[in-house]
Structures are given as C-alpha cells and as structure tokens.
Amino acid sequence: MKTGCCHSKLIHQTDRHAICINPGCENYLGHTSANIDYSKWKNTFAAVALTFLLLFSFDDFSKENKEQYTLALLLPTQHEILTIARVQKELKTQEVMCPKEVLAQIKIESANLTSSLFRRTNNMFGMRYPFNRKTTASGIYITSLDSIVYGSRDELKKFRRFESYAVFNTWKASIADYKLWQEHYFNVSERYLEFIGKNYAEDPFYVAKIRQAASLPQLK
C-alpha cells in the first residue's frame, strides 16, 4: 500500500498509526494514512525495520555523525508476571529511600504495572532519559516514531529534541535508576546538616565543626 501524503510505498507501520519514511516527502517522519494488513506487516517486519534504519540514518540529526544505532520497532511482547509484592521487595533490597512512598508513585505512574509505557520499556516511573547523571537506561523510546533507539549517552544526545522516555532492559534496572536519581538530587547528609544547623545549636559555625570532626580519623 502507499502513503496518503506522497503516494509512495515508504511507510513505517506501527500497531497504532503509519509514518511516512520517504525522505523526499514534506511529511517525512510525520503521521500519514495507509491501509496495510497488520498480519502481512508482521511477516515483513525485519525488512521494513532494516529499510527504516537505513533511511533514519540520513536524517538531519544524524548526518553529523556516521555511528550506527540499534533501532527496534515495537510490537506487543510477553512479560514476566510481576506483582506489587515483588516490586515492594525489590525496593527494600535496593535500599530505595522512602520505599512506601516510592511504591505508591510506581502504582500511579505505571497504572498498577499495566501501562503501555511500562510494558514496552520497563520504565516504572515515566522517567525521561537522563543526560546529566548516572543511569541504568539502555536506550530511548521515541513516542512519535513508536520506536526504541539503543546506544550510549553520547550517541543518544542527538535525539534529545524528540519527546521520549528512558528504556531499561529489566524492571529492576528501572528501580536501580530511580535509586541513582535519589542519590543525585537528594543528598541525605547535606539535608541532615542543614536541619541541624537550623534547629540544633545557636553556634553559626556548628555545622562547619561537624564537617571537620566527621572527616577526622576515628579514635581507637
């Protein structure tokens, strides 16, 4: 079948919509209309994925660098049976701060582990790909293309202008990434010292004295 915008056969068909992948079309990488038999699409998935990958590499944002990317076009997949109890146990195992509150956050963000984003990307928190801290993410899910691009942080930087989410190899990796997020943005020691400085002593140098004492060798 042909696209409805440029009348070519260069189409990337997902389970929800069709995308024009004709680089000569004004609607390149935009939504288009196409009447494609989904069962036939499954049989030609590998060929279309390869064609799309080759065309994708010629887009403006990749011309500056000739590195190759692993692109996975998403189709429904089977996942292991996961329960809230297992997630709760993993939060404690990984020593995530405030596990009760974080579990509630997971329930909301993943619709009790049933959301499409979670099932496709193992992303339990709806996290964007982090470019300024450590992460366990292995790729980016580009929502407009309904596709995943795998790569290193430097390779994925050129996709920052796309609306996207972080992709994880496992749901446990998603929790590990949230732990890294907590450690990056919530320094418990600094918050504790700030609290002590405001509420414990009148000495304005009290916190500085604690810092100095904490760095001294322990007495035997």
Q: What is the pLDDT of residue 217?
A: 66
Q: What is the pLDDT of residue 83?
A: 94
Q: 216 versus 126: which is more confidently predicted?
A: 126
Q: 26 versus 83: which is more confidently predicted?
A: 83
pTM as predicted: 0.60
Q: What is the pLDDT of residue 165?
A: 96
Round the average pLDDT of the chain to a whole number and report it: 77
Q: What is the pLDDT of residue 15?
A: 53
On the question of pLDDT at 124 being above 70, the answer is: yes
Please compute the mean of the pLDDT values over residues 75-80 and round it to a whole number: 46
Q: Name the band, by pLDDT with cuts 50, 70 and 90, for residue 212.
A: confident
Please compute the mean of the pLDDT values over residues 109-128 and round it to a whole number: 95
Please compute the mean of the pLDDT values over residues 137-159 and round it to a whole number: 91
**11-13 and 31-32 strand pairing:** unpaired
| pLDDT one-digit tens code per residue, 160-209 | 888 999 999 999 999 999 999 999 988 778 888 888 888 887 888 888 88
Q: 157 versus 67: which is more confidently predicted?
A: 157
Q: Name the band, by pLDDT with cuts 50, 70 and 90, for residue 68.
A: very low
Q: What is the pLDDT of residue 187?
A: 79
